[in-house]
Structure 1
Amino acid sequence: MQSLLVASAILLMFTVQQGSAIQCFVCNSHKDANCNLDIPPDNLLKDCRQEYSSREQGLSIFCRKISQVIEFAVNGLPPDTRVIRTCGFLNQTNYNYCYSRAGFGGRQVVCSCDQDRCNGSGALNSSFLILAASILCGLLLMFTKRV
């Protein structure tokens, strides 16, 4: 039983949203090629609370990374692949979660996370790995205690 409590505490430690300000990379690779790097440079890092101070206080804040493919010319712009990193508010999905969208002439993968600097590529992957490992450890502990 004690092992289950420890595993649960570890899981909560990695999944509970922090209520303080969060720092995210804010950029668009269409305007700044550095945004396309696996880990963008620190000059693209913004404090979301300060950067978007006009947002209503108390809203959930998270980081977002959007990988977007535009498959054919639209409004005079050629086909393109872009990475957009930004702060987000009122997340309608779960944190540390990715989903895909597709529509006429394009598709995108949108990932959200809730820790500082987490919308850099490597950071998103490691947060998912930590969450998956924590869940797996908790399940293993539960099943070994029952046997």
Structure 2
Amino acid sequence: MQYIYVISALILAIAVQQGAAIKCFVCNSHKDANCALDMPPDNLLKDCQEHYSSRDKGIPTFCRKITQVIEFAVNGLPPESRVIRTCGFLNQTSNSYCYQRAGFGGRQVVCSCDTDNCNGATSLSSSTVAVVGAAAVVLGALQWLQR
């Protein structure tokens, strides 16, 4: 029975995240083409608290990825797509992590997430993998204890 308490404490320690700022990719593909890559290079990764230390909005706790599409020429500018990755202070997607906006000649998809490096490629975050792995260890331990 002691094993269950120890393993449960380990899962809790892995799953709970600190309330500090996170690391996010910060870039704009209009200025740096590497920003549009599925997984941007590490030199675009920033500590959000340091990167936005001069703002009075508190500690950034979210990362964002914004994909913008301008569908036809406007004001002499050609149609284009942009990817903007940044830190966020408020999660504006209270029920889901992505939302879409559309208007005359353009649209954007805004996705927010709350783990380090999560505004890179769309994949499982490291904390999700850790929790799933810890759960697998617990199940294995429980089966071993029942023998």
TM-score, scaled relative to structure 1? 0.69
Q: Unaligned regions of 5+ residues in structure 2, if any?
A: 136-147
Give runs of aligned pairs for residues 115-126 of structure 1, distance below 5 A.
115-122=115-122, 125-126=123-124
State the 1:83 CA deviation.
0.8
Q: Quick one: distance in 2 between partners of 1:94 and 1:40?
A: 26
Q: Quick one: distance in 2 between partners of 1:95 and 1:51?
A: 27
State the 1:23 CA deviation.
0.7
Q: 1:21 to 1:96 in 2, by over 3 A?
A: farther
Q: Which amino acid aligns with 1:121?
A: A
Give runs of aligned pairs for residues 1-147 of structure 1, distance below 5 A.
13=15, 18-56=18-56, 58-94=58-94, 97-122=97-122, 125-127=123-125, 130=128
Q: Quick one: distance in 2 between partners of 1:17 and 1:99?
A: 25
Runs of 4+ residues deviating >6 angstroms? none
State the 1:94 CA deviation.
3.2
The secondary structure found in structure 2 opposite 1:108 is strand
Q: Quick one: distance in 2 between partners of 1:29 and 1:65?
A: 11
TM-score, scaled relative to structure 2? 0.69
Aligned length: 121
State the 1:40 CA deviation.
0.3
Across the aligned residues of Structure 1 and Structure 2, the Cα RMSD in angstroms comes to 2.8
Q: Unaligned regions of 5+ residues in structure 1, if any?
A: 138-147
The secondary structure found in structure 1 opposite 2:75 is coil
Larger-Rg structure: 2
The answer to which structure has the higher helix fraction is: 1
